[in-house]
C-alpha cells in the first residue's frame, strides 16, 4: 500500500431513480424491495438481505478506506442511524452530507467539501458496485497533486458486468494522451473504436480519486445547456482544460455492477452472490 493512499471516500447516493421507478412495472418484486424501488432509492434496495450500499461499504473497507461520506437528499436523513450501523458492520465510519436540491452531480460533490477537508478522496456512484481490485487501483495511486479516474476495459465490462454491449454505448469513453493523461471525456460515442488505446477502449464508470481542486471546478462549472444540471464530467473537463489539475487515467480490467433498472436486481444479486462471476 502506497504512503499516498487515501482513507476517505464520497458516495453519491441521492440519485432520483427515475428509470428505476419507471421500469418496475409488473415485475414480481419482494415488498421490501419494491418499497425502495418505487421511491427510486437505489443504494438502499435490499440485495441478498442487505442494502445494496452495504456491499460497497465493505469493498471500500477492504480497499483501506476508513471514512465514508454519503451525499444524500433531505428525505434520506431518516436512514441515518441505519447507515451508520451498516458502516460499522462493514468496517468504515459513515457520515452524511445533504444536497438540499437535486442540482446535478457537480453540486452533489461540492456538498461533501466539509467532510473531505484538505486531502484526496475516492468518489463513486451509489447505484454502482465497484469491486475491491478497482478501488485499490485508485486508492494506492501515486501523486497526491494529481487526480485520477479508473478507465474500465470495455471488453471486460461486457464480459463480467450485468449489462449488454448496447447498454455500454450509453456510457462515456476517455480520450487520453500517450501517458494516459485525460484529454477529453466523450459522452455516448458513435464510434468507440476511435478511442482505442494500447490498453483497449477505456470506459468512464464514475470512479475517481480527487484532491480538493475539484471543488473549485464544481463552483465554476455552468449548467448543462439541455439538462440544466451542474455535471461532474463538465467540471472535470473544465479542470483539465484550464490546467487546474491533471487527471491520470488508470486502466482497470475489472467489472462494475449497475443498478439502474428494476430488472437489474436479479443479475446483481446473482453476481454478488457468486463473488463477482457473471
Give residue limits of the domains in the chain: 8-273
| Interatomic CA distance for residues 174 and 176, integer angstroms | 6
Residue in 56, 55, 51, 13 with CA at minimum distance from that of residue 32:
51
Tens digits of residue pLDDT in 34-85: 888 888 889 999 999 999 999 999 999 999 999 999 999 998 998 899 999 9
Q: In terms of CATH architecture, what is 8-273? A: Alpha-Beta Complex (3.90)
User: Does the CA dihedral 187-207-129-39 come out positive or negative?
Assistant: negative
Dump the DSSP string for 67-106: EEEEEE-GGGGGGHHHHHHHHHHHTSEEEEEE-SS---HH
Q: How confident is the model at residue 273 (pLDDT cuts 50, 70, 90)?
A: confident
pLDDT of residue 51: 93
Range of weakest confidence among 45-59, 144-158, 201-215, 263-277: 263-277
| Interatomic CA distance for residues 6 and 65, integer angstroms | 7
pLDDT of residue 169: 77
In Å, how far from its chain's centre is CA 15?
A: 11
| Interatomic CA distance for residues 84 and 90, integer angstroms | 10
Amino acid at each position: 500500500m502506497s504512503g499516498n493512499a487515501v482513507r476517505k471516500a464520497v458516495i453519491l447516493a441521492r440519485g432520483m431513480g427515475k428509470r428505476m421507478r419507471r421500469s418496475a412495472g409488473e415485475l414480481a418484486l419482494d415488498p421490501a424491495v419494491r418499497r425502495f424501488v418505487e421511491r427510486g432509492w437505489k443504494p438502499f434496495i435490499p440485495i441478498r438481505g442487505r442494502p445494496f450500499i452495504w456491499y460497497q461499504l465493505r469493498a471500500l473497507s477492504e480497499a483501506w478506506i476508513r471514512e465514508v461520506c454519503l451525499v444524500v437528499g433531505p428525505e434520506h436523513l431518516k436512514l441515518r442511524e441505519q447507515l451508520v450501523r451498516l458502516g460499522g458492520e462493514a468496517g468504515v465510519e459513515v457520515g452524511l452530507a445533504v444536497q438540499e436540491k437535486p442540482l446535478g452531480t457537480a453540486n452533489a460533490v461540492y456538498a461533501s467539501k466539509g467532510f473531505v477537508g484538505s486531502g484526496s478522496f475516492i468518489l463513486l456512484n451509489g447505484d454502482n458496485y465497484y469491486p475491491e481490485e478497482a478501488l485499490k487501483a485508485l486508492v494506492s495511486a501515486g501523486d497526491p497533486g494529481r487526480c485520477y479516474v479508473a478507465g474500465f476495459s470495455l471488453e471486460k465490462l461486457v464480459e463480467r458486468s450485468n449489462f449488454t454491449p448496447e447498454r455500454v454505448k450509453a456510457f462515456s469513453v476517455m480520450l487520453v494522451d500517450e501517458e494516459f493523461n485525460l484529454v477529453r471525456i466523450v459522452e455516448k460515442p458513435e464510434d468507440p473504436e476511435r478511442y482505442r488505446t494500447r490498453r483497449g477502449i477505456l470506459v468512464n464508470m464514475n470512479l475517481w480519486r480527487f484532491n480538493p481542486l475539484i471543488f473549485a471546478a464544481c463552483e465554476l462549472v455552468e449548467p448543462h445547456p439541455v439538462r440544466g444540471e451542474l455535471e461532474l464530467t463538465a467540471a472535470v473537463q473544465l479542470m483539465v482544460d484550464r490546467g487546474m489539475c491533471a487527471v491520470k487515467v488508470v486502466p482497470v480490467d475489472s467489472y462494475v455492477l449497475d443498478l439502474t433498472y428494476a430488472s437489474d436486481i436479479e443479475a446483481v444479486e446473482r453476481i454478488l452472490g457468486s463473488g463477482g462471476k457473471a
